[in-house]
Amino acid sequence: MSFENMRFSKEHEWVQFEEGSNLVTTGITDYASGELGDIVYIEFPEVGQELKSMEPMGTIEAVKTVADIYAPLSGVVREVNTVLNDDPGIVNQSPYGEGWFVKIEMSDRSELDGLMEKHEYDRMVGKG
């Protein structure tokens, strides 16, 4: 997997973007899903909801704990991965693939600059 068009937050969310598009895909990192353990429930924001960068946008419940999910960028929710309602464990199996959470239309593309690249994130979690 290429992490070239991905950025990471200190709250362990990832953002995948494409040049020329304001639509990004988000989720949590493999590190976060491993720390949480078996994920049993995810509460998502609503489609059309406005998000502010680094503010809670939902919760994730695992066998070990319940944690907030933070919006890595400001914008409007355009799509929610409803497949995870029936099978939230997909996040543990494929956090960067089928386990994505929401698609956000960014309101300020420059917020990407405030997020970390993969090697910076790895260093933060002690993998780099």
Q: Where are the alpha helices (DSSP H) in 24-87?
A: 30-36, 83-86
Within a domain: residue 77?
yes
Query: Number of folded domains in the chain?
Result: 1
Q: For residue 91, name the pLDDT band (cuts at 50, 70, 90).
A: very high
Within a domain: residue 98?
yes
Calculate ∠ Cα 114-109-113, nearest 5°. 20
Within a domain: residue 1?
no
Tens digits of residue pLDDT in 35-65:
999 999 999 999 999 999 999 999 999 998 9
Inter-CA distances, 81 with 5, 19, 43, Å = 20, 22, 11
Domain limits at 112?
6-122
Within a domain: residue 85?
yes
Of 10, 5, 12, nearest in space to 28 by CA:
12
Q: For residue 116, name the pLDDT band (cuts at 50, 70, 90).
A: very high
Backbone angles phi, psi at 123, to 5 degrees: -65, -40
Within a domain: residue 128?
no
Tens digits of residue pLDDT in 3-42:
999 999 999 999 999 888 999 999 999 999 999 999 999 9
CATH code for position 76: 2.40.50.100
Within a domain: residue 49?
yes
